[in-house]
Amino acid sequence: HREECHICCMSFTMQNEEIDENPSDRDVGVFLPDADLIEWHAKMKAKMPRVFPEDDKVFGNDDGQHPYGTKLLAHFDDDIDKPMNCTVLGSRWKKDNVGSLYPGIESTFADNREPMYVILINGGLSQFGLMDAHIGEEGGWRVVGWKPQVNDRLDALANAHQNNVQGAHSGGRDNFSDSDPDESDERLDFYTSVHQNN
């Protein structure tokens, strides 16, 4: 059992442990270090070379993780009439419990964990595999925009955890709490155009 989020009372290490199956308020605005994801991905290449070939990249053609406020779009069952929209709020590890459910069965994931994006979808918190948002035009989730403010409650949580949101790459957010609206619009245009051209 995990206690509710208390503003700025938890260490970076605690916030990025794979404690619970599902994301919670404490995961909002917190990003895994890019270096940890690259290291995990290198282990996956060694573990499953047919699935993760040598030239595979954890972030695909992107510079790094999608920043807080990135808007993503996918289509359910690849049906263009079934769009799904979500907003990136952070990233976290999800522990693979296959070994506890099926004794003797080894996890397919390196270190028995998988990186996930924490997202806002249909008004609630959820998550999906981080690499699913970095596979380009082949499918999965694609970037359709970026807005530094999501909503008052989530922005307050993200600001409380802002010392932990440095996983965002240079193409996206800075410290959104200090963003000038005009500058935010300019960065949104730039960020969206970069990803549309990838």
Would you place residue 180 in the very low, low, confident or very high pLDDT band (cuts 50, 70, 90)? very low
In percent, the amount of the chain with pLDDT more than 70 equals 69
pLDDT tens per residue, range 114-157: 999 999 999 999 999 999 999 876 678 999 999 999 999 999 99
**For residue 137, what pLDDT is reported?**
67
Task: Transcribe the chain into DSSP letters.
Answer: --PPP-TT-S-HHHHTS---SS--GGGTT----HHHHHHHHHHHHHH-TTTS-TT--TTTTSSSBPPTTEEEEEEGGG-TTSEEEEEEEEEEEEE--HHHHSTTPPPSSGGGEEEEEEEEETTEEEEEEGGGGSSGGGSS-EEEEE-S---HHHHHHHHHTGGG-TTB-TTS-S-GGG--HHHHHHHHHHHHHHHHT-
Would you place residue 172 in the very low, low, confident or very high pLDDT band (cuts 50, 70, 90)? very low
